A and B are shown apart, each in its own frame.
Chain A
Amino acid sequence: MNTLSHDNHGLRLFVRYLVLTLIAAIFVFPLVFMVMSSLKPSQQLLIDSGSLRAFLPVGDISLNNYTMAFDRAPVALFVANSLFITGTTVILSLFVCSLAGFSIAILSWRGKAFVLSAILATLTVPFETIAVPLLLMSSKLPWIGMDGLEVGWLNSYRVQIIPFIADGLTIFLFVQYFRDIPSDLVEAARAEGASWSQVYSKVLMPLSGPIIATAAILKFLVMYNQYLWPLMVVQEEGYRPVLVGLQYFFQLNTAWGEIMAYLSMITVPVLVFYLFLQRAFIASIASTGVKG
């Protein structure tokens, strides 16, 4: 895009930053509200929530809500569970879905049109619709564990991971991205005798930083925000993820301060993940930059 012009950029620069900052305020205010509220006792939080004090760390500020949240629920366990489930699924998903995307975007094979249509059609199926049939299936699926063959996937990590590895949207993201990659790159590699696996791993994937980042974020969000499914398939506290944990805080005489503290805590890992990806993402664009 057009960048700094040569003349009178002082004022222009100021206006640009002003616009950027005002927009930023719109996006960030509920989060500031959340974090500030988490530092206040419930009574004060409710009174403050009606005024600009909601955005300020004023009044009776402390970390009490955080301490009490840890007393009420095994917060660290829930976050660890969610991170493990989410992380594993994201990694497996990126691998499996990029392979499928590669196959559909680059290769020609019989049945491809049908497979692509089927994949796109699944985008329209709300998960809640298939939850009950999936539950019935999951309770009867076999698994080879430490004690040999077992039946039933309930109360496990795998039941929260494996059904979500492949999804239409992630595959579709890769398909659209790979289609944009100049075909002469692929052809050149093939001419040099590269196998299709090598084309995938040596030519395409190194160019796919931006889409990997996008797909990873999307998958991360979906997985980190799972609620209905873990509720249905996990009865043991040891496997519960963060949003099921949120229910611990909705009691009679709601502890608003603790809820805000819990919400703040479960949001931090996602922000960290995004900031990490953003760096990787920028770096990958800077280093490749050959597309188009």
Chain B
Amino acid sequence: MAQQKSLTQSNVSGWAFALPGFGLMVAFIILPFFFAIWFSLTNQRLISPNPPSFMGLSNYVDLLSIGTIVLEPERDATGAVIRDNAGDITYPRLRNFTRNNPDYPHLQGMREWFGWQTGPNDELRRVILAKDVVFMRALKNTFTFVIIVAPLQAGLALMLALLINQKLRGINVYRAIYFMPVVISIVVVAFLWRLIYDGNNGLLNNILGALSFGWFEPVDWLGQPSTALGSIIAMSIWQAVGFHMVIWLSGLQTISPTLYEAAELEGSSKWQTFRYVTWPGLRNTAVLILIVITMQAFGLFAQVDVMTNGGPLDSTQTIVFQAIERGYGKQDISGGSAISVILFLIVLSISMIQRYLTRERNT
């Protein structure tokens, strides 16, 4: 790089070429985003006759506050732990502590997020409470989605790309077919899959039933907390994998055929060829794909909006869905903006980590 620098050094040309693009981005993305950051520090509403006022970080506090409490089991007169019919220990209801209890002002308005047994004989119960449980669930679901989708989608896309990179008659037709879901609006795709996932008379249940000769019990894919997010994940990968296949393909095409010829001459196996010729040639593509998938996965919204509305029982709440639900649905632009700023900070730190890791390997 260093010796090139003098050759390509040109402040005027550099800025001149970058300016149309960068200028438009400043005007139409960066500047409005600064407004959004400002909104998140106020009580700005979508609809209101009242002028907004500065609220400091209160929107963030409302979103992120958590608390904890240890619950003592209910005991009868003899001091023995009371158990319900199922044999489970009974505890006082949390609402006794979180609603207008002067002894627990820091828990006011909080709800249970999760908890576990603790103490001697596991009789105590530690509960983690959050002021905004729904947002916490949205965070967790979004991270789950990203962690599953990013490697799976990138891997499947690479496999498809290798498959489609063969020189076979009619391979273009297959390439076009694999790409087809990508060209259809995600709203349309989500709408179709809602019918396919239908619990009563859906295609998926019927196909699985037919394939298993009736052994398979119909599942209400989107109607159960245990399957809803998984169904959205599967559909999302199905929809987007073709696009990343094409990016991998363009990376594969840039690898010089002479390298493959050399590998063949040396008698390397298919795996060795992939490991030592193909994969190193795909490094920039891999970085690009991981970043793109991560960004897109963090933006998960349309599928949820069309298919589940965040339910059942918040099992498909996501960060962007919450941002939009709050900003537009509940007309609280300030709260929605705060969520977006949090998302921005999360993804920014992840991409910085990603870049740091990939940079280190390059040197």
Min CB gap A6→B, angstroms: 12
- 9 interchain residue pairs of minimum CB distance: A109-B14, A100-B21, A133-B35, A103-B17, A129-B340, A50-B201, A130-B32, A292-B256, A124-B347
Which of B71-79, B81-89, B90-98, B161-169 participates in binding chain A? B161-169
Q: In B263-289, which residues have CB < 8 Å from any A CB?
A: 264, 270, 273, 278, 281, 284-285, 287-288
User: A171 and B238: CB pair below 8 A?
Assistant: no
**Cβ-defined partner of A49 (8 Å) among B15, B22, B203:** B203
Interchain CB contact under 8 A, B284 and A176 = yes
- By a CB distance below 8 angstroms, the chain B residues around A24 are 174, 177-178
Q: What are the residues of chain B within 8 A of A163 when measuring CB–CB? A: 24, 28
Contacts of A109 in B (CB 8 A): 9-11, 13-15, 18
Min Cβ gap B265→A in Å is: 13
User: Measured between C-beta atoms, what is the minimum distance from A282 to chain B in Å?
Assistant: 7
By a CB distance below 8 angstroms, the chain B residues around A218 are: 243
Given the known A-B contacts A3-B167, A19-B163, A130-B32, are A28 and B256 also in contact in the complex, defined by CB atoms under 8 Å? no
Tell me, in angstroms, the Cα distance from A198 to B75 when the chains sit together: 85
Question: 1/0 contact trace for A167-185 toward B, CB 8 Å?
Answer: 1110111001001100100
| Proximity string of chain B (234-251) to chain A, C-beta cutoff 8 Å, 1 when within and 0 when not | 000010001100110010
Question: Which of B20, B200, B201 makes the CB contact (< 8 A) with A166?
Answer: B20
Please tell me which stretch of B110-118, B180-188, B224-232 contacts chain A, meaning at least 4 of its Cβ atoms lie within 8 angstroms of it. B180-188
Choose one: A21, A166, A200, A227; the contact of B22 (CB below 8 Å): A166
Q: Report A1-33 CB contacts with B as 1/0, cut-off 8 Å.
A: 111100000000100110111011011111101
Nearest CB of chain B from residue A18's CB, rounded to whole Å: 12
Q: Known contacts A128-B327, A129-B33; decide if A200 and B256 are in contact (CB<8 Å).
A: no
Known: A97-B21, A110-B11, A274-B179. A124 touches B5 (CB 8 A): no
- B344 near A: Cβ within 8 Å? yes
Chain A proximity of B8: nearest CB distance (Å): 5
Q: Does A85 sit within 8 A of B, measured CB to CB?
A: no
Q: Are B18 and A274 in contact (CB under 8 A)?
A: no
B residues within 8 A CB of A122?
A: 25, 29-30, 33
Interface residues of A in 96-110 (CB under 8 A from B): 96-97, 99-100, 102-104, 106-110
Check A205 for interface membership: any CB of B closer than 8 A: no
**Is A119 at the interface (CB under 8 A from chain B)?**
yes
CA distance A84 to B323 in the complex (A): 31
With contact pairs A96-B20, A122-B25, A130-B36 given, residues A210 and B195 touching in the complex (Cβ less than 8 Å): no
A190 CB–B CB distance under 8 Å: yes
Give the Cβ gap from B339 to chain A, nearest Cβ, in Å. Answer: 8
CB < 8 Å neighbour of B176 from A3, A179, A278: A278
Residue from B177, B193, B337 in contact with A129 in the complex, judged by beta carbons closer than 8 Å: B337
24 chain-A/chain-B pairs, Cβ below 8 angstroms = A27-B238, A30-B189, A50-B206, A52-B206, A107-B9, A107-B13, A112-B18, A124-B351, A126-B299, A129-B36, A130-B32, A133-B35, A166-B24, A168-B25, A180-B254, A180-B284, A217-B243, A218-B243, A263-B188, A271-B180, A274-B183, A275-B176, A285-B253, A291-B256
Q: Does A63 contact B (CB under 8 A)?
A: no
A108 touches B177 (CB 8 A): no
Question: Please, which residues of chain B bring their CB within 8 A of the CB of A91?
Answer: none
Q: Is A246 an interface residue (CB 8 A)?
A: yes
Secondary structure at the B interface, as helix, strand, loop or mixed, is helix
Q: Taking the complex as formed, is A225 at the interface, i.e. its CB lies under 8 A from any CB of chain B?
A: yes
Contacts of A125 in B (CB 8 A): 29, 33, 340, 344
Inter-chain contact A292/B336, CB cutoff 8 Å: no
Point out which of B160, B162, B165, B184 has the most chain A C-beta atoms below 10 A from its C-beta: B184
> Are A99 and B33 interface neighbours, CB within 8 A?
no
Interface size on B, residues (CB 8 A): 112
A130's partner among B35, B171, B206 (CB-CB below 8 A) is: B35
B260 at interface, CB cutoff 8 A: yes
Prevailing SS type, chain A contact patch: helix
Please encode chain A, from 74 to 102, with 1 for each CB lying within 8 Å of some chain B CB and 0 for all others: 00000000000000000000001101101
In whole angstroms, how far apart are the Cα atoms of A65 and B343 in the complex?
43
Chain B residue numbers with a CB within 8 Å of A168 are 25, 29
Q: How far does the alpha carbon of A273 sit from the alpha carbon of B182 in the complex, in Å?
A: 12
Q: Is A280 an interface residue (CB 8 A)?
A: no
Residues of A within 8 A of B203 (CB): 29, 33, 49-50, 54
With an 8 A cutoff between CB atoms, is B192 at the interface? Answer: yes
On chain B, the residues within 8 Å of A20 by CB distance are 163-164, 168, 171, 174
A91 to B145, CA, bound (A): 34
Q: Does B174 contact A30, Cβ atoms closer than 8 Å?
A: no
Give the residues in chain A near B328, CB-CB below 8 Å. 128
B30 and A132 contact, CB distance less than 8 A: no
Question: Cβ of B281: which chain A residues have Cβ within 8 Å of it?
Answer: 292
Docked-complex contact A123 and B174, CB < 8 angstroms: no
Task: Kindly identify, within residues 23 to 60 of chain B, every residue whose CB is under 8 Å from any CB belonging to chain A.
Answer: 23-25, 28-33, 35-36, 39, 46
Collect the chain B residues with CB atoms within 8 Å of residue A200's CB.
17
Q: What's the minimum C-beta distance from B253 to chain A, rounded to whole angstroms? A: 5
Chain A residue contacts of B177, Cβ below 8 A: 24, 27-28
| B window 148-174: CB within 8 A of A | 160, 162-168, 171-172, 174
Compute how far the CA of A289 lies from the CA of B195 in the bound complex, rounded to whole angstroms: 44
| Beta-carbon contact of B13 and A103 below 8 Å | yes
CB distance B20 to A126 under 8 Å?
Answer: no
Q: Is A42 in the interface zone, CB < 8 Å from B?
A: no
User: Does B324 interact with chain A (Cβ within 8 Å)?
Assistant: yes
When distances are taken between beta carbons in the complex, the residues of chain B under 8 Å from A121 are 344, 348
CA distance A51 to B206 in the complex (A): 6
B292 interfacial contact with A, CB 8 Å:
yes
Q: Which of A164, A172, A186, A271 contacts B183 (CB 8 A)?
A: A271
B14 lies within 8 A of A129 (CB): no
